[in-house]
Structure 1
């Protein structure tokens, strides 16, 4: 009976993890560049009473086994790497990636972080930075006398000055991609860090080597599917309820056994 309770407890933990993940998805439904998270589950070790194919006699084998599962565990939580909808902001330093890749920003500790959030703006020195003031890599500096700022699909940054229609290139944005984006470590603040699992960054200009294009005056919305999340939430809630009912049934059986033992 205690084994039954352990199995049920693992299922309840799995359902709670599913609910926590769904809650995080819904909380970030309006977060720029957020990728929907999906937990993955796998069975725990089995208790083998009879091995399938084992000898039942000297001439015969068991056609099936006696294998009892011990529950479920969370194997990992993966991001759904589908493209989010591009929404227009009409802010010339708002940038969205259409396709693969990540913007690069320099953290205060000197490490480079990666993000799909392209809500950038010039700082006091004209350098393009994110909402936390982290500098975009490579450095892009917009001169004080810039009239218009144009960022092309290929990441070229050019400006015009008042009284002149001639565009001058002042920088070139680059994107980074990874062999295994699922291996990136979330840091919070829409930032990700390279890990051994992700592999080294593959850096290049947009629209080269499979990298996406840059869309100016736009931001990438979260790719969270609200309807899908609500359906999954109902499923997780039902699974949790069934688990608690099963636990109550096992508890009743234990009580009956205890009463029978005391009566004997």
Structure 2
């Protein structure tokens, strides 16, 4: 029994360590544009069934309850919480936020497609709309030289005003990717998500249509990390870690006393 309890306590330590790592990552990204917080999910490990409810207790009766001993806890998965962060005005015409569901599309090195909620875009040397890393936003938008202002409508239509021309010129339209299961996207570095079999293929469409969010120019979406909630979760995790640590010490003492007695 003591050795089994020691195993259970050790799985508890490992689980709480994983949970603390998730919380630490959430807090580290509290100011990251478009960041979505993660949550650790746990599941009980296999039970040792010393007696199963319903087994014969005599020739005429059965056990009403069983004798099941748990073997601890394991980290089952992490879930990304997709709730929207606050929209913050920046005044920068190339800062874009999605008010609702969906992702901006980006051409990553090697031809892979990335998806992001971080719309802090800029212009490259040749006038292309790119991320801060220099990756092209898709569909590619070329802003001509001499553009004095850039207007991006809620549906993603990009228009520019050019010195000497009376009317604005439309230069393209930013489309939005949506997924059947956005929680199935794989998180990557630099605020990008990657398509997986669990997310389903990207469904490309116009902002504001079929459940996709509208584009807000001159704004950025903040992270959805709630600092107060994360601190509460951190305290709870610390307490659970301490309790499991004390249990390990107590079981070690029990085993030491048993060895000395025997």
The TM tier, using the shorter chain, reads over 0.9
What is residue 55 of structure 1 aligned with on the other side?
A: 56
SS in 2 for 1:91: coil
How do 1:1-150 residues align onto structure 2 when only pairs under 5 Å count? 1-150=2-151
- SS of 2:180's equivalent? coil
Aligned to 1:184: 185
Shift of 1:165: 4.0
Helix, strand or coil at the partner of 1:204: strand
TM-score under structure 1 normalisation? 0.97
Q: 2 CA distance for matches of 1:25 and 1:77?
A: 12
| 2:246 corresponds to | 245
User: Post-superposition, which runs of at least 4 consecutive aligned residues in structure 1 deviate over 2 A?
Assistant: none
Instruction: Give the distance between the partners of 1:99 and 1:134, measured in 2 at CA.
Output: 23
Match of 2:167 in 1: 166
Distance in 2 (alpha carbons) for counterparts of 1:66 and 1:112: 52
Partner-residue secondary structure (3-state), 1:147: strand
Structure-2-length-normalised TM-score: 0.98
What's the secondary structure of 2:40's corresponding residue?
Answer: strand
Deviation (angstroms), 1:163: 3.4
SS for the counterpart of 1:188 is coil
Q: How many angstroms apart in 1 are the aligned matches of 2:84 and 2:165?
A: 38
Question: 1:165 and 1:82 mapped to 2: Cα distance?
Answer: 42
TM-superposition CA deviations, 1:8-64 (whole Å, max 9, x none): 010001111111111100100000000011100010000001111222223211111
Distance in 1 (CA, whole Å) between partners of 2:54 and 2:97 is 57
Within 5 Å, which residues of 2 pair with 1:246-261?
246-261=247-262
Q: For this pair of structures, how many residues does the alignment match?
A: 261
Structure 1: where are the runs of 5+ without partners?
Answer: none
Gaps in structure 2 of 5+ consecutive residues: none
What is the distance in 1 between the residues matched to 2:149 and 2:56? 81
In 1, the alpha carbon distance for the partners of 2:69 and 2:167 equals: 75
